[in-house]
């Protein structure tokens, strides 16, 4: 209670924010426990007053019965009033790592007939569980630029979670690719806020329509693995809202049940107790009605986190991930309420939010109990080995195939037509000799077909179709002579096999993962361990040399890249014998099938790059902070709004391949762009704000349609195919915005010779910038321009908008 008084008073007096920040980051004078319990001190604040700070925002807003949430919240409130304080504390505190079948568990509460909750990773499907699908990761579905595939992937993931009795899907992961080397980029949806936002929106709808709770993570600006528990992401309010918050807002608009505050600090306030971003941004401004759940071991205080808006602590103990049962909450939360440090109403609101989420997706209606044991999947007593894979190989294959971006296709090398002799070169084309799932969470993958990165976002492959397997089947059918060389370092054999063939496909990789695992790259280059983040954005296992060796001998060298993110290609991309390049992301289990479908033209490639591939690493706007002696390293987002392609445009840097780029086996012609204001509030919506000030949260009119964009695309080539028209917006010159920002996209199917009409609407929000002085989304004065193109640099149509 004291904190609330202090914070409000300090804010009102306009006292230096740094003073406030101390209060926000921890509560040194407020007891977390009553004297009869062991004292668990909050982790001390390690920064100093000169650092950027996060303003206080108290008290924590309660749930409301608005819209979709009316019934769930009403039911939850009824339960909560019948619950004892001990029950409330049980509901908001994880049972402790290992105490339950899932990676996170909430105990049952018999008094309200609540069976408990099973929370399970992760973004790519059910982690560490058998008879489940290893779906293509986030970066791959982002590469499809297809809203439909994003949704269908979410649906299939949701069905698998429901079939295994897991209540909560710990995904989607929407941290933008700010620094290309950041370890967990592959779990998310690439480098653009709108692409991420749409993928988040579709994933949440897909998962939750299957009655599974989704958890969008990691809130907020959790952008690298080095210093993952101590680093502070420092960013201004406009960058925060326009770039990093946007995907979370879209997830909330899809009705996401929970949000996971990450390990990091933002503006020197730990995310699990950052009242500005939990109480203010999420619960007030975005009107989030669900619950916040700490990342595993990310909570560092009892009272401060409760008051700042945290609603559930995971895995329950004060650290992750061991069987430590001492908790900041549990019995300590009960004590904190009893001694007046935390209002009962705050804990009741935590519980309301958690139960509302449970009712929101109707998990009270005959939902299965977990039928697996993540902690020991071989234990016959606790694993039923339920097969939930259904026909999800179909959607996985479609996504992995649709995501493949054809980056180079000299002399129409592809598609292949019954080649006489083909060589597959590189370990990624074949299976890993020691078997599937040899490395738990994929930590340690050295070579063999790369299906995903490492960490909690990895899933076990129930099967893995390699290129070796898929292309052999074609070879048999076509009477193609096939050979291979799977040792990445045996250049003599690679040359021999390449020399014999009229097509040589070289398979290369680049890998990264979550910071709790460290993986060395193989000989002979860069043996240094990668602590989650990549040390280099080059190929693993000396891939560049392998390509060069093969291209030196074979004038039809096709390169297939499986990678977590951008890779520098300058050493080989312009080699005249490198005739084609397939950018195949991380494919999950349908690795070879996807590549073969595109190579042989069964699938006309339509994938687009969800990030920029630069010519040199220093062309990117941001880097991982690798070294710091500071107890609380400062990660300053000085590039502001200029993430990825926005930076390349603003600084006029030529990329190797731009954001949104990908070739097709056919050609498309764009025409007839028509743009008109259709909204009720005209050209200038600033007057709409009236007296509506930020304390009310964002108004619904902001998201109403303002502008309709229509155009036609014709397939003028010889093959049916998908095109991915992208709608960019150019803000008025003085707006402070990048030269262009993505605002709409989708993949459309166009049979050869046909024309399709494409329509999109943009909302007032889409046309607005965040004004820090007004604390509102506002129209920028001047002329806007709508740009429609086949990539961020291949703009085909333009139209001004006054």
The reply to whether 656 sits near ligand NOJ by the rule CB under 6 A is: no
Query: 3-class SS at 677?
Result: strand
Query: Would you count residue 225 as binding ligand NOJ (CB under 6 A)?
Result: no
Candidates 296, 374, 670, 728; binder of ligand NOJ (CB under 6 A) is 296
516 vs 681, beta carbon nearer ligand NOJ: 516
Instruction: Decide whether 293 or 424 has the Cβ nearer to ligand NOJ.
Output: 293
H helix intervals, 602-665: 645-650
Closer residue to ligand NOJ in complex, CB, 217/793: 217
Give CA–CA dist 544/733, Å, rounded.
Answer: 42
Q: How far apart are CA 96 and CA 370, in angstroms?
A: 17
Shortest reach from residue 751's CB to ligand NOJ, in Å: 42
Please give the biggest Cα pair distance in the chain: 82
Answer yes or no whether residue 532 interacts with ligand NOJ by CB under 6 A.
Answer: no
Smallest separation, CB 262 to ligand NOJ (Å): 7
CB of 217 to ligand NOJ, least distance (A): 6
Cα 504 to Cα 131, 287, 450, 461, 581: the distances in Å are 35, 55, 19, 28, 12
To ligand NOJ, the closest distance from the beta carbon of 544 in angstroms equals 32
Residue 226 found at the interface with ligand NOJ (CB under 6 A): no
Contact positions with ligand NOJ (CB under 6 A) in 710-769 = none
Among residues 7, 88, 89, 170, which is the contact residue for ligand NOJ, using CB under 6 A? 170
Q: Which residue(s) pair with 709 in the sheet?
A: 675, 760
Dihedral (C-alpha) 793, 799, 800, 802: value to the nearest 10 degrees? -130
**423-482 residues near ligand NOJ, rule: CB under 6 A:** 456
Report, in Å, the least distance between residue 489 CB and ligand NOJ: 34
CB of residue 121 to ligand NOJ, shortest distance in Å: 5
230, 646 Cβ separation under 8 angstroms: no
Per CB under 6 A, the list member of 23, 79, 87, 121 interacting with ligand NOJ is 121
At its nearest, how many Å lie between ligand NOJ and the CB of residue 191? 19
Window 75 to 104, contacts with ligand NOJ (CB under 6 A):
103
| Structure token digits, residue 302 | 């009892």
Q: At what angle do helices 331-338 and 85-92 cross, to 10 degrees?
A: 130
Distance of CA 133 to the CA centre of its chain: 19
In the bound complex, what is the minimum distance in angstroms from residue 456's beta carbon to ligand NOJ? 4
Distance between CA atoms of residues 233 and 240, nearest Å: 10
Of 622, 499, 497, 483, nearest to 554 (Cα)?
A: 499
CB neighbour burial string for 28-42, b if at least 16 within 10 angstroms, e if fewer? eebbbbeeebeebeb
Half-sphere exposure of 673 (CA within 13 A, CB side): 20
Full DSSP string of 332-393: HHHHHHHTTSS-HHHHHHHHHHHHHHHHHTTTTTTPPPP---TT-TT-TTT-------TTHH
Nearest alpha-carbon partner for 583 in 601, 549, 607: 607
Q: Would you say 124 or 267 has its CB closer to ligand NOJ?
A: 124
Size of the site for ligand NOJ (CB under 6 A): 8
From residue 25 to residue 64, the character string flagging contacts with ligand NOJ as x (rule: CB under 6 A) and all else as - is ----------------------------------------
d(CA 99, CA 325): 9
Specify whether the CB–CB gap between 541 and 447 falls below 8 A: yes
Helix, strand or coil, per DSSP, at residue 244: helix
| Minimum CB distance to ligand NOJ, residue 293 (Å) | 9
Least distance in angstroms from the C-beta of 161 to ligand NOJ: 13
Nearer Cβ to ligand NOJ (6/126): 126
Nearer to ligand NOJ, 32 or 295 (CB): 295
Shortest separation between residue 170's beta carbon and ligand NOJ, angstroms: 4
When asked if residue 533 is in the footprint of ligand NOJ (CB under 6 A), the reply is no
Residue whose CB is less far from ligand NOJ, 296 or 637: 296
Q: Judged by CB, which is closer to ligand NOJ: 452, or 482?
A: 452
475 close to 422: Cβ distance less than 8 angstroms: yes
Which residue, chain included where needed, has tokens 């935590």? 350
Print the binding letters for residues 201-220 with ligand NOJ: x by CB under 6 A, - otherwise. Answer: ----------------x---
Rule CB under 6 A: say whether 122 interacts with ligand NOJ. yes
Please answer whether residues 233 and 637 qualify as being in contact, where contact means their C-beta atoms are separated by less than 8 angstroms.
yes
C-alpha–C-alpha distance, residues 380 and 403, integer Å? 39
| CB nearer to ligand NOJ: pick between 248 and 296 | 296
Nearer to ligand NOJ, 11 or 325 (CB): 325
Residues tagged active-site? 295
* Cβ contact 775:737 at 8 Å: no
189 lies in the site for ligand NOJ, by CB under 6 A = no
Cβ distance to ligand NOJ smaller for residue 217 or 250: 217
Tell me how crowded residue 529 is: count the other CB atoms within 10 A of its CB.
Answer: 12
CB atoms inside a 10 Å sphere around CB 498: 26
- Which of 225, 295, 311, 441 lies at the binding interface for ligand NOJ (CB under 6 A)? 295
For residue 700, what are the contacts with CB-CB under 8 A and spacing of at least 6? none
Closest CA to 94 of 370, 341, 382, 324: 324
Question: Which positions touch ligand NOJ (CB under 6 A)?
Answer: 103, 121-122, 170, 217, 295-296, 456
């Amino acid at each position: 209670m004291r904190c609330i008084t202090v914070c409000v008073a300090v804010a009102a007096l306009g006292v230096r924010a740094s003073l406030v920040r101390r209060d926000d980051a921890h509560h040194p004078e407020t007891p977390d426990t009553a004297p009869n319990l062991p004292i668990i001190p909050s982790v001390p604040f390690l920064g100093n007053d000169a650092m950027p700070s996060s303003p206080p925002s108290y008290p924590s807003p309660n749930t409301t019965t608005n819209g979709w949430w009316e019934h769930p919240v009403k039911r939850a409130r009824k339960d909560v009033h019948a619950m004892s304080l001990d029950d409330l504390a049980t509901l908001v505190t994880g049972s402790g790592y290992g105490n339950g079948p899932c990676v996170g568990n909430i105990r049952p509460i018999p008094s309200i007939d609540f069976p408990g909750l099973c929370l399970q990773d992760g973004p790519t499907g059910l982690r560490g569980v058998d008879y489940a699908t290893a779906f293509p990761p986030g970066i791959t579905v982002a590469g499809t630029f297809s809203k439909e595939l994003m949704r269908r992937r979410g649906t299939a993931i949701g069905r698998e979670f429901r079939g295994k009795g897991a209540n909560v899907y710990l995904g989607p992961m929407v941290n933008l690719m700010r620094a290309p080397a950041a370890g967990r980029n592959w779990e998310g949806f690439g480098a653009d806020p709108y692409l991420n936002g749409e993928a988040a929106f579709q994933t949440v709808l897909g998962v939750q329509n299957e009655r599974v709770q989704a958890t969008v993570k990691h809130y907020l600006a959790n952008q690298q693995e080095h210093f993952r528990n101590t680093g502070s992401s420092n960013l201004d309010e406009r960058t925060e809202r326009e770039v990093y918050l946007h995907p979370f807002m879209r997830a909330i608009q899809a009705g996401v049940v929970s949000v996971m505050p990450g390990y990091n600090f933002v503006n020197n306030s730990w995310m699990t107790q950052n009242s500005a971003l939990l109480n203010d941004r999420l619960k007030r401004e975005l009107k989030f009605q669900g619950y916040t759940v700490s990342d595993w071991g990310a909570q560092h205080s009892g009272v401060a986190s409760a008051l700042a808006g945290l609603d559930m602590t995971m895995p329950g103990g004060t650290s992750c991930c061991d069987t430590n049962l001492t908790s900041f909450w549990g019995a300590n939360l009960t004590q904190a309420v009893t001694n007046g440090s935390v209002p009962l109403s705050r804990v009741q609101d935590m519980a309301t939010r958690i139960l509302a989420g449970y009712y929101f997706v109707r998990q009270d209606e005959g939902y299965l109990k977990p039928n697996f044991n993540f902690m020991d999947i071989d234990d016959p007593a606790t694993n039923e080995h339920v097969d939930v894979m259904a026909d999800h190989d179909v959607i996985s294959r479609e996504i992995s195939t649709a995501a493949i971006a054809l980056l180079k296709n000299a002399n129409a090398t592809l598609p292949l037509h019954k080649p006489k002799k083909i060589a597959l070169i590189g370990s990624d084309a074949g299976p890993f000799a020691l078997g599937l799932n040899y490395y738990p969470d994929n930590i340690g993958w050295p070579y063999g077909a790369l299906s995903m990165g490492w960490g909690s976002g990895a899933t076990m492959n129930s099967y893995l179709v390699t290129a070796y397997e898929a292309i052999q089947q074609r070879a048999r059918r076509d009477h193609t002579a096939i050979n291979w060389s799977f040792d990445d370092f045996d250049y003599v054999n690679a040359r021999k096999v390449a020399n014999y063939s009229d097509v040589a496909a070289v398979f290369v990789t680049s890998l990264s993962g979550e910071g709790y695992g460290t993986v060395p790259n193989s000989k002979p280059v860069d043996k240094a361990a990668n602590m989650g983040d990549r040390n280099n954005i080059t190929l693993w296992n000396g891939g560049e040399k392998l390509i060069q060796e093969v291209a030196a001998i074979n004038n039809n060298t096709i390169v297939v890249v499986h990678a977590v993110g951008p890779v520098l290609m300058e050493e080989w991309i312009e080699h005249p014998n490198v005739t084609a390049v397939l950018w195949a992301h991380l494919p999950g289990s349908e690795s070879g099938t996807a590549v073969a479908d595109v190579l042989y033209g069964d699938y006309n490639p339509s994938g687009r790059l969800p990030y920029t591939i630069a010519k040199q690493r220093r062309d990117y706007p941001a880097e991982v902070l690798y070294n710091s002696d500071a107890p609380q390293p400062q990660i300053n987002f000085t590039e502001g709004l200029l993430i990825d392609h926005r930076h390349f445009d603003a600084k006029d840097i030529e990329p190797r391949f731009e954001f949104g780029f990908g070739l097709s086996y056919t050609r498309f012609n764009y025409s007839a762009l028509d743009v008109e204001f259709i909204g009720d509030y005209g050209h200038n919506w600033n007057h709409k704000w009236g007296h509506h000030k930020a304390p009310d949260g964002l108004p619904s009119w902001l998201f109403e349609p303002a502008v309709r964009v229509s155009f036609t695309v014709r397939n003028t080539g010889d093959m049916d195919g998908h095109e991915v028209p992208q709608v960019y917006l150019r803000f008025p010159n003085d707006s402070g915005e990048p030269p262009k920002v993505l605002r709409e996209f989708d993949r459309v199917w166009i049979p050869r010779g046909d024309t399709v009409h494409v329509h999109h609407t943009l909302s007032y929000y889409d046309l607005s910038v965040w004004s820090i002085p007004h604390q509102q989304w506002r129209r920028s004065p001047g002329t806007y321009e709508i740009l429609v193109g086949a990539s961020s640099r291949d703009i085909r149509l333009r139209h001004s908008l006054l």
